[in-house]
Amino acid sequence: MNIDLIFKIAAIGIVVSILHTVLSKAGKEEYAHIVTLAGVVIVLTMVLNLISRLFDSVKTIFQLY
């Protein structure tokens, strides 16, 4: 069981929110939005692996083909 992923996602979220605040305070709104988008994409690629694992295991257990 790897609960590291939860902590990883939370840490990425906190760092991204701090970066967003700093960048928007510095007047770089466009970079702030790009940082948020990049964070969401990075986290989504990590989550997608797990979702595909879930679907595979449900398929094999419940014999859905």
Partner 1 sequence: MEIIQIVGIGIIATILAVILKQQKPEFAIQVSIVTGLIIFIFVVGKLSYVIEVLSNLASRIDMDLLYFSTILKVIGVAYIAEFGAQIARDSGEGAIASKIELAGKILIMVLAVPVLTSLLDLIIKIIP
Query: Computed from CA positions of residues 34, 35, 36, 40, in that sequence, does the dihedral angle turn out positive or negative?
Result: positive
CA distance 35 to 43: 12
> Quick one: 6 or 25, whose CB is closer to partner 1?
6
- Give me the 19-38 binding string for partner 1, x by CB under 8 A, dash otherwise: -x---------------x--
CA distance 28 to 24: 5
Contact footprint for partner 1 (CB under 8 A): 1-3, 5-7, 9-10, 12-14, 16-17, 20, 36, 39-40, 43-44, 46-47, 50-51, 53-55, 57-59, 61-64
